[in-house]
Structures are given as structure tokens and as C-alpha cells.
Amino acid sequence: MNVLVSNDDGIFALGIRTLANALSAAGHQVTVVCPDRERSATGHGLTLHRPLRAEQVENIFEPAIAAWSCSGTPSDCVKLALDAILSEKPDFVVSGINHGANLGTDVLYSGTVSAAMEGVLEDIPAIAISLTSFSCQEFGPAAAFAVKLVAKLEKQPLALPVLLNVNVPPVPAADIKGAVIARQGMRRYFDQFEQRTDPRGRTYYWLAGEVMEEGSAELSMPIGKGACTERTQALVDEISAVSDEFMTDVETIKRNYITVTPLQYNLTAYTALSFVQSQLALD
């Protein structure tokens, strides 16, 4: 199969090299198009006000892999690959292996997840995969799981407009307990802006965030008179039942399981539609 590989850590990152080489060794035709430098936490940003530049690179990946570095964001890279570099639509988009977790609400900022979502927007099956540590350099288990997951999806496609967000614990392969389907959890950060002064005496700020709280991103229940119609309440009950059945990714990863979370680009809060309509009473 033809597999497009991208990331947000840049062309020289060990994670993408391990992933692309593993997919190539498994017999897939692999093309890499990724940022020419670190572009983490860029979300789904696009470059609109300056030109994009892409250069083919050699001697980074296995010889069978065609690779380009791009001056843009991760989303730019996938869009450019699909519209200008590749001669035909790939069978899969795989983004990663990210250096660090993409758990819970991290996905809102993640360039890794956004690159994969570009594939979903073009109706291409997509996977985002991350190793949940910045210091661990053992990407082998994550790459092996990516190869296994692509093989499963090749035989049995999901046929849904979702990407699979995979997080792998930073432990030896023998200590990984398995892989489970998990729902998205929540991670809150304590953001601290450190004020500094550059050599010319000008003030600048450096953002440093530490995880302050991890847990469940529970469904917000509409409250108040007339907030829940019978149809909305049925939807709330159904989603609550699913939430009870599946643990969150932030909970499951701590138990040394690989987490697989289906994500979608439709952000509509369906349980709030009737409530908002009743509150706003738009003409």
C-alpha cells in the first residue's frame, strides 16, 4: 500500500525515521512529507501569507523511501503532499511517532493529530501515533504497533470519517499490557510565562506548561427548565453509557496499555443544540 508519513517534530526526528522505515520494511510504499524543523503545538494552522517551500531529502530514511522537507506546518505538509507532490492518493496517512503524549485535550493543539486529520478530511484513513515521553528514545514498540494497526485496517477498513489517535507508554515492549480502545480524557495545564530579556534589552516571554490535572472530560449535561428535550435526554443517556463502558486515554496509559482513541473533525455539541435554541430564540 501507499502510505504518506508526516509529523510535527521535523524531518530529522528519530520518531518519524523509525516509523517510516518500519512501514517500508513491512512492504509498503512510503512517502515522507514533513516540516523541515520542529513545529509542535501548531494545531491545525496553515501557511497563507508566505510561500511554501519543499525540498527532497536523501540519506535520512531507507533508500526506498521518498522524502521531502517542507517549510510549513504539519497540516501544510499533508495538504501539499496530497495536492502537489504525490501522483496518486495514498491509502493511508500516518503521523508520528510524536516525541511526547497526545492525550486528552492535547489533541486540540497537536500538530501530529492535525496532520492525520488532514487525511480524514480527504477521506483517507489516518493514524496519529505518539510515544508518551519526551526523554524515552525507544520508538520500536510504537512503530511495530503502527505496522500492525495498518495491516488490520487494510484487511478491515473502518469506513468512518475518524482518525485513530494512538498513544504508546514509554516502557519496554514486554511491559506493555496490550492495546485498548479508550475515550478522550482531559489534561489541564498550569501555564507559566517566564519573562526574559534579550541581548538588546527587549522583553520577551517563554511559555512553560506543566500538567496540573488529568481525568475525564465528562459530558456537559444541559440544565435548567426546558434544557433537555426527550430526544436530547436519550442522546445524553446513550453517550453517558458509552463513557461508563470505556476508560479515558489518560487513565489507561498509566496502566501501561496502548490507547487507541477515535477522533472526528465534527465538533458540534449535539446534546446542547436544543438547549441553545431554546435559550437564544433566534429569529
**Residues forming the annotated binding site?**
8-9, 40, 98
Backbone φ, ψ for residue 110 (5° rounding): -70, 125
C-alpha cell at 203: 522583553
What residues contact residue 23 under an 8 Å CB cut-off, 6+ apart? Answer: 3, 5, 30, 94, 143, 146, 147, 150
Using an 8 Å Cβ cutoff, are 110 and 98 in contact?
yes
Peptide bond before residue 97 is cis, with ω within 30 degrees of 0? yes
Q: Which residues are annotated as a binding site for a divalent metal cation?
A: 8-9, 40, 98
Is 66 strand, coil or helix? strand
- State how far the Cα of 271 lies from the Cα of 274, in Å rounded to an integer: 7
